[in-house]
Structure 1
C-alpha cells in the first residue's frame, strides 16, 4: 500500500507546478497512450472526484456507463 501512496504523491508532485497547458498536454498525451500513463490519469481523476459534488460524480458515472455500453 505504501507504494501506491508514494506513486500518488510522486504524480501530484510532478504536476503541481505545471501550467494549465502542461497539464493538458500530459492528459492528451496519456489518453490512448502507453498504459504506464494510466496511474497518472487515475490520480488526476481521483483529485477531480474528491472535489466534485454528488451531482457531478453521478454525471461522471453516467458518462462512463454510456461509453462502456457503446463499446460492448
Structure 2
C-alpha cells in the first residue's frame, strides 16, 4: 500500500485556520474512534517540531499530569 498517512493528514488540514484545526481535533477526540489517533499523532508531531523547548516542556508536564 503506497499510502503515506503523515502526508495525507497534513494535506487534509493544510491551510485550515485555528477554528478549523480546533474543530478537527475536538471532533477526533469526542468521536473516540481508534482510526483518528494516527491523525492526532501527526498533529502532535507538527506541534513538537515547531515548538520551543519551553512549549515542549509545558506539553510534557501537561501530559504527565493528565496521566496521573
- Using the size of structure 2 for normalisation, the TM-score is 0.84
Query: What secondary structure is seen at the aligned counterpart in 2 of 1:31?
Result: helix
- State the alpha-carbon separation in 2 of the partners of residues 55 and 23 from structure 1: 22
Q: d(CA) in 2 for partners of 1:16 and 1:23?
A: 9
Unaligned residue ranges in structure 2 (runs of 5+): none
C-alpha separation between the residues in 2 aligned to 1:14 and 1:64? 26
TM-score by length of 1: 0.80
Matching of residues 17-56 of structure 1 within 5 Å:
17-32=15-30, 33-56=32-55
User: Residue 10 of structure 1: which of 8, 12, 18 is its match?
Assistant: 8
Alpha-carbon separation, structure 2, partners of 1:22 and 1:12? 13
Larger radius of gyration: 1
Runs of 4+ in 1 over 3 A off after TM superposition: none
Q: What is the aligned length?
A: 66
For the aligned residues, what is the CA RMSD?
Answer: 1.6
- Residue 21 of structure 1 deviates from its aligned partner by 2.6
Gaps of 5+ in 1: none
